[in-house]
Amino acid sequence: MSRILFKCAMVMVVSVMCSLLITGAIMTANDMHDARGYMIATICPLVISPAISFIVFRQSEKLRLTLEKLHQVMQELEITNAKLFEKSSRDSMTGLLNREAFFNHIEDVRTQRASSLLIIDADHFKKINDVHGHYNGDGALMAIAQSIAGCLGKEDSIGRIGGEEFAVFLAMDDEDKVKSIAENIRAAVNRIEFRTPENERVALSVSIGGIVGLANGTIADHFQIADRRLYEAKRNGRNRVVIESNMKNAA
């Protein structure tokens, strides 16, 4: 309110000054010198300008406050939408990217940088659920997810793409390095000391299939190749890594 009153006072002062200047100019041009003219030129702006300027400035202030509130609401809405989008792209249990978000991410970046794909499946997971219960099975999955994530770099990504199946995007296409990271993941999962509430240790392991080089071809084709390598690892006894180089095939 004080801001509005200050603006009204300024308008009133300016109005009086302008009125006096105009009146003085008219009276001088017509060789008229009457104090009553200057009195009228002073009183009229004092009577008219405060009320009009108060109404105008009050409406302007209301509009300003409304726009500020609208801007704040829009910012909150943007934050809420961002949170909802983030939540919709995450697996509710592990917090990893879900299947759709993970493969959309690969599609966006695979042609812009070196890239490889790993498909990781928890070994004998049905047995873990059957023997130790789904609660412990969920705990085992989260432990595996954390272990995988701990082996990745800042530019790599991980998603949960199925019940006990994970996918990893590696920002590299060096076959030896990809195999080394896959072996690190496999060994890290082996080292997990996962225990049930009854303090019973549950041995965990994963089988990993992968493909090096994603720039050419389709994501579906790359996934099928990595998936075949995964089941090759399963057939050969599980707890192992099988990687195929798309770079060599392309050459």
The model's pLDDT over 125-169, given as tens digits with 9 standing for 90+, comes to: 999 999 999 999 999 999 999 999 999 999 999 999 999 999 999
- Same domain, residue pair 245 and 172: yes
69 in any annotated domain: yes
The number of folded domains in the chain is 2
162 in any annotated domain: yes
Last residue of a domain, one of 88, 109, 143: 88
Active-site annotation, residues:
164
- Same domain, residue pair 78 and 192: no
Provide the strand spans (E) within the chain.
116-122, 157-160, 165-170, 194-195, 201-202, 206-212, 241-245
Last residue of a domain, one of 45, 65, 88: 88
202 in any annotated domain: yes
C-alpha distances in angstroms, 150 versus 39, 180, 186, 189? 85, 14, 12, 10
pLDDT digit string (tens) for 95-121?
A: 999 999 999 999 989 888 899 999 999
pLDDT score of 249: 47
Asked if 181 and 215 touch (Cβ cutoff 8 Å), the reply is: no
Q: What is the CATH number of the domain that holds 164?
A: 3.30.70.270
In this structure, what token pair is assigned to residue 6? 């200050």
Provide the strand spans (E) within 91-231.
116-122, 157-160, 165-170, 194-195, 201-202, 206-212
Domain that holds residue 206: 99-250
